[in-house]
């Protein structure tokens, strides 16, 4: 049998650097901000995380695809990353849960990829020069043309990417209707359910399935609403609490979400993760900034200030709340990143609202902060219900 001919591909950065490799997945062009993720596993969860909308993701671990892809481990119904960059693609996965190779999954969902490039060199370049605009192609032959294509992309700053990933209409979270239902039922059994479950409205800025699973496992009856939902619509559902989800892009551009959260503060307990954390900060009058190359991986150390304990966390963000812009009369810092000192969590002093920058649902990844944060949300709703009776 004749060996299938490999198709050449290029990844071009806006500063003129070009990497040459081989195409896999879908043979179409892509533009986005090139970033790197240091996780050794979890490529399927990464590709389907809506927070990666607008980004071309590079994996620093050299061999990707060795356990294939399955329907149960996705974080949304379709990939949201713009393209995927790996050093070596495993074409013949070996795992009892594998349903198809990674390349076939990407081709099915029209997601382009490039393999065979020096991902170490690319990662070192991003760490030095910062995350930047990029373009990937297996059809453009002139490197200069591809660099121009990267430069023409507007970038993420000032861009509302949430509008591309949020749901269109409110819907009840019914885990049996989505992948991973058996896992969700098992978690519910392990945690137990209160006799009267909490009514929680989850604002979808790009929410991950595993966050919904864990909220449900901690006794929450969930209604997911679009990011554009008004405070009147949310409060009209009479929730015991409101969850603010993760999501992509520049948080300052999600002006409608900031205004809604500002109106909700003090009226209902609030819990935010990642973009939800940033939007809560902006609603309080704080500022956010774009990081040089962000935090993306499953081994970021975070210090919990109250206990002094260090938690290893999963992270995915390129923007951050500037702690000096928070009003310390109303807000207390609860978590700090030990690598660079950036803000990882805060709570309001007078009303039940708190948030974290990292991902306690961590699928896959460390579970150090999972139980405490989701249980804390339950406790805040219990207290609010008690004070209202």
* Phi, psi angles (nearest 5°) of residue 268: -160, 145
Contact 270, 352 (CB under 8 A): yes
* Phi, psi angles (nearest 5°) of residue 187: -60, -40
- The structure tokens listed for 179 are 């992948």
Residue 274: active-site member: yes
- The structure tokens listed for 148 are 């121009």
- The structure tokens listed for 186 are 């098992």
Contact 217, 246 (CB under 8 A): no
3-state secondary structure of 134: strand
User: For the chain, give me the number of helices (H) and strands (E)?
Assistant: 10, 19
Residue 277: active-site member: no
Burial of 298 (0-12, 13-18, 19+ CB in 10 A): buried
Q: Could you check whether the bond before residue 364 is cis, i.e. omega within 30 degrees of 0? A: yes
- The structure tokens listed for 59 are 């994996």
- Residue of 75, 304, 344, 361 with catalytic role: 361
Residue 13's DSSP bridge partners are 134
- Residue of 80, 87, 115, 274 with catalytic role: 274
How far CA 55 is from CA of 47, 155, 207, 265, 365, in Å, comes to 10, 9, 17, 31, 21
- Residue of 218, 277, 335, 359 with catalytic role: 359
Q: Which residues are catalytic?
A: 274, 359, 361
């Amino acid at each position: 049998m004749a060996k299938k001919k490999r198709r050449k591909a290029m990844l071009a950065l806006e500063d003129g650097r070009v990497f040459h490799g081989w195409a896999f997945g879908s043979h179409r062009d892509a533009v986005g901000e090139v970033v790197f993720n240091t996780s050794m596993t979890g490529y399927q969860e990464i590709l389907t995380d809506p927070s990666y909308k607008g980004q071309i993701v590079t994996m620093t671990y050299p061999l990707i695809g060795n356990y294939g892809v399955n329907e149960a481990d996705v974080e949304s119904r379709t990939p949201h990353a713009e393209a995927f960059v790996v050093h070596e693609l495993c074409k013949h996965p070996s795992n009892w849960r594998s349903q198809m190779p990674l390349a076939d999954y990407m081709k099915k969902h029209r997601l382009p990829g490039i393999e065979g490039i020096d991902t170490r060199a690319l990662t070192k370049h991003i760490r030095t020069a910062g995350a930047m605009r990029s373009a990937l192609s297996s059809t453009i032959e002139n490197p200069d043309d591809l660099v121009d294509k990267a430069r023409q992309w507007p970038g993420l700053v000032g861009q509302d990417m949430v509008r591309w990933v949020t749901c269109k209409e409110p819907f009840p979270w019914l885990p049996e209707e989505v992948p991973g239902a058996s896992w969700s039922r098992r978690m519910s059994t392990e945690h137990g359910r209160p006799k009267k479950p909490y009514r929680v409205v989850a604002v979808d800025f790009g929410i991950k399935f595993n966050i919904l699973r864990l909220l449900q496992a901690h006794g929450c009856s969930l209604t997911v609403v679009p990011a554009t939902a008004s405070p009147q619509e949310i409060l009209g559902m009479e929730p015991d609490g409101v969850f603010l989800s993760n999501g992509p892009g520049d948080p300052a551009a999600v002006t409608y979400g900031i205004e809604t959260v500002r109106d909700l503060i003090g009226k209902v307990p609030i819990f935010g993760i990642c973009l939800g954390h940033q939007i809560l900060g902006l609603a309080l009058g704080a500022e956010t900034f774009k990081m040089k190359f962000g935090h993306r991986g499953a081994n970021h150390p975070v210090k919990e200030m109250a206990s002094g304990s260090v938690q290893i966390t999963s992270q995915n963000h390129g923007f951050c709340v500037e702690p000096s812009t928070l009003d310390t009369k109303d807000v207390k810092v609860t978590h700090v990143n030990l690598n660079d000192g950036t803000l990882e969590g805060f709570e309001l002093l007078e009303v039940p609202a708190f948030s974290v920058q990292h991902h306690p649902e961590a699928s896959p990844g460390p579970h150090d902060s999972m139980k405490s944060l989701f249980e804390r949300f339950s406790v805040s709703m219990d207290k609010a219900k008690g004070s209202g009776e």
